[in-house]
Structure 1
Amino acid sequence: MIRDISLQDLFSIMEKEPHTMIDVRSPSEFSEATIPGSINIPVFTDKERAEIGILYKRVSKEAANERGLEIFSAKLPAFIRQCKMIDTPKTVFCWRGGMRSKTAATVLDLMGIQANRLSGGVRTYRQWVVMELKKEEFEPELIVLNGYTGSGKTILLKRLVDEGFPVINLEQLAGHRGSIFGQIGLEPNNQKKFDSLLVHELHKFKDEPYVFIEGESKRIGKVLIPSFLFSKKENGIHVFIHLPMEQRVKNILADYNPWEAGDKFIEAFNLIKRRIHLPIAKEIEEKLEKGQFEDSVSLLLEYYYDPRYEYSTKKHLHDNDFLIYADSVDDAFEQLLKLNQSFVKMNQNKKAVHRFFK
């Protein structure tokens, strides 16, 4: 028997036991936005969905339904086989809880495979995400890692995660490193995907005293950080990481692997070279074309990224800034762990003041 469940029902189920969400929409719909953690077992391909849509508009709903049933019938064995391979409880969904998820759930039920069906589909989930962001609620203090490009901030965040600290990695959620070269080797997310992933991170850490993030600008690749979170970041506890230039260059080369995508680096550089003094811009371009990436990265840091960073930090000085001067990322991490004790005390003092004036 098919069981229609609400979004809140789905969340409750997922908290209690392993659960698989099956998005039966077309691959392009799934790629644009879905419920995080879902897998895609499409009822129709993108081309088939377009064909059915044309029939619906130009002929009739009945004609579209008949063609859809004809297409899906041929796929039934493969669809059922894929679903049988999933050994956890399942929930299927489409865009708004319509024919595709209903048909998929009915077929699975007939084959003795129990699966819930999400009422309202992805549209309901998207509405929930938007409403959650509109609440503008996030209580934990933000500890913001800043530093010149290549200072190992992302590496530090990953190590903090490994040590069990609460971390929201905004660049990871955006699928972008935040620079003009930031999309190279990655698949940037759109705003819908970013919002969905971010809301789940905010819920995950809502009861923590503080959360580590990186000092990002308002825009990361294709996405914008919500204003309330950006403002909270600006007024958080800021830690500035300082590493030697040669160490920063090594970090960048290890992260980007420019030898595997030299053409993309040249393409990206062309977008900013007019902002660099002409003789230097020409030298950087020549070194990129020759594959001399260590030299080109050093020049980019010295004549483009470092001056921009210095200009931006002058506008955002804080009374509670912390400075870390380190020889390596390992050294910076050890110093950051020691600073953590200061963060804990600051948070405890803040709570004591809050209780006193409450």
Structure 2
Amino acid sequence: MTRSNTDDFRALFLSEAPLMDVRAPVEFGRGAFPGAVNLPLMNDIERQKVGTCYKLKGQQAAIELGHQLVSGKVKAQRIEQWAAFAAANPDGYLYCFRGGLRSRISQEWLATEAGVSYPRIVGGYKAMRTYLIGVLEQAIAQCRFVVVGGMTGSGKTDVLGQLDNAVDLEGMANHRGSSFGKRVAPQPAQISFENALSVDLLKRQARGQHAFVVEDESRLIGSCALPLPLHQAMQRFPVVWLEDAFESRVERILRDYVVSLADEFVAAYGPEQGFEAFAQRMRQSLGNIVKRLGHERYQRLAAQMDEALAAQQAAGVIDLHRAWITGLLHDYYDPMYASQREKKGARIVFSGTQAEVVDYLRRHCV
């Protein structure tokens, strides 16, 4: 049975339908949907040439040039890739930017050259993207949100991990959210981050969730910016404040930002090269806030970090890292977060330990 083209974006995202994106790689790199596979009709150079031709000579000339550039073996290889995707994903769909010429050509070539009838998404990437922007705006307007705040290292992410209705913004951004939060793997493109967030909220609402818990974030999570409507709304949402002892916070930072990050680098690059890359990342992260620390404090913390990294590399000893972590909390993070807590005071509806906060959220954010 031949499946029809579709513009039911909600069903597409909820069913996690396989998506074949025939846009050029540069377009895909700027933003994509979760799980989409890029199998372009034209590569970046071909697309650029066709675009220039379109501006100078019009659509028909551009179409003719496109057929010249994508012909023979090149055309056969691309059709073969599409046919393989269709065979592996019989319930999928293909699309281009606006659901227009490129997706129709790809669909036609699949049918005439490979005998494969494969549906396309009407309106393409642009229409799906517009739909997801609406999903986020609707969720902000109609759902309840609670923000988990707390000092650096207090375990806000650990709280989210214990809640079914937590929206892990840092997980989606692949960044821990501080100057030291950059991970080994790169962050997603901004638009891909936004798309993933909207799809997650769509799925949660479809499961009956209409109250969500998010971690308190600044506008930027590394290179990913929170969508402006969400960031603005987070300044109004009620806040639950997580309390934890200073020593526990130091140990959590040591675990997450030193031990775990070093393990990530070693797993990615091997023991020697991995540790060198980890050490470089740590020094770079501290260097990123040198202006805010001031030269004297930065020099002191940098010396402590160098000593700790040398001991860690030589003997696997991590104890010396506590010195610069303690100094950084006292001199930089704690004063900043104390100021933020004071500004958020009127919105704080509960404060307590991790167990108390988790219990409160399970009972009141449903």
TM-score (norm 1): 0.79
Of 120-129 and 202-211, more deviation after overlay is shown by 202-211
Structure 2 vs 1, CA of residues 152 and 254 (structure 1 numbering), >3 Å: closer, same or farther? farther
What is the correspondence of 1:16-35 to structure 2 with a 5 Å cutoff? Answer: 19-35=17-33
Aligned-residue offset at 1:95: 0.8
TM-score (norm 2): 0.78
Q: Secondary structure at the match of 2:117?
A: coil
Distance 2:302 2:172 in 1: 31
Which of residues 100, 117, 131 is equivalent to 1:128?
A: 131
What is the correspondence of 1:21-170 to structure 2 with a 5 Å cutoff? Answer: 21-73=19-71, 74-77=74-77, 78-110=80-112, 111-135=114-138, 137-160=140-163, 165-170=164-169
Structure 2 vs 1, CA of residues 319 and 195 (structure 1 numbering), >3 Å: closer, same or farther? closer
Of 128-137 and 196-205, more deviation after overlay is shown by 128-137
Structure 2 vs 1, CA of residues 104 and 34 (structure 1 numbering), >3 Å: closer, same or farther? same
The yes-or-no answer on 1:275 pairing with 2:292 is yes
Distance 1:136 1:52 in 2: 40
Q: Which residue of 1 aligns with 2:209?
A: 208
Identity in percent: 23
Structure 2 vs 1, CA of residues 13 and 171 (structure 1 numbering), >3 Å: closer, same or farther? closer
Distance 2:326 2:176 in 1: 18
Structure 2 vs 1, CA of residues 130 and 343 (structure 1 numbering), >3 Å: closer, same or farther? closer
Q: Which residue of 2 aligns with 1:339?
A: 360
Distance 1:219 1:85 in 2: 41
Q: Which residue of 1 aligns with 2:268?
A: none
Q: CA deviation digits over 1:2-40, x for unaligned, max 9?
A: 84322xx2433554x562111111112112112333111
Q: Secondary structure at the match of 2:170?
A: helix
Gaps spanning 5+ residues in structure 1: where? Answer: 325-331, 348-358
Runs of 4+ in 1 over 6 A off after TM superposition: none
Which of residues 329, 336, 340 is equivalent to 1:301?
A: 329
Structure 2 vs 1, CA of residues 98 and 315 (structure 1 numbering), >3 Å: closer, same or farther? same
Q: Tell me the amino acid that sits aligned with residue 101 of structure 2.
A: M
Q: What's the RMSD between the two structures over aligned residues? A: 3.0
Distance 2:175 2:186 in 1: 7
Are the equivalent residues in 2 in contact too, given 1:2–1:106 (CA < 8 A)?
A: no
Structure 2 vs 1, CA of residues 18 and 100 (structure 1 numbering), >3 Å: closer, same or farther? same
Structure 2 vs 1, CA of residues 233 and 140 (structure 1 numbering), >3 Å: closer, same or farther? farther
Are the equivalent residues in 2 in contact too, given 1:218–1:230 (CA < 8 A)?
A: no
Q: CA deviation digits over 1:159-192, x for unaligned, max 9?
A: 43xxxx1121112233332222333424334443
Q: Tell me the amino acid that sits aligned with residue 211 of structure 2.
A: Y
Distance 2:214 2:136 in 1: 18
Structure 2 vs 1, CA of residues 18 and 208 (structure 1 numbering), >3 Å: closer, same or farther? closer
Equivalences, count: 330
Aligned-residue offset at 1:81: 4.8
Structure 2 vs 1, CA of residues 301 and 176 (structure 1 numbering), >3 Å: closer, same or farther? same
Of 213-222 and 165-174, more deviation after overlay is shown by 213-222
Distance 2:364 2:212 in 1: 11
Aligned-residue offset at 1:279: 2.8
Which of residues 321, 335, 346 is equivalent to 2:350?
A: 321
Aligned-residue offset at 1:234: 4.1
Q: Tell me the amino acid that sits aligned with residue 31 of structure 1.
A: G
Distance 2:92 2:348 in 1: 51
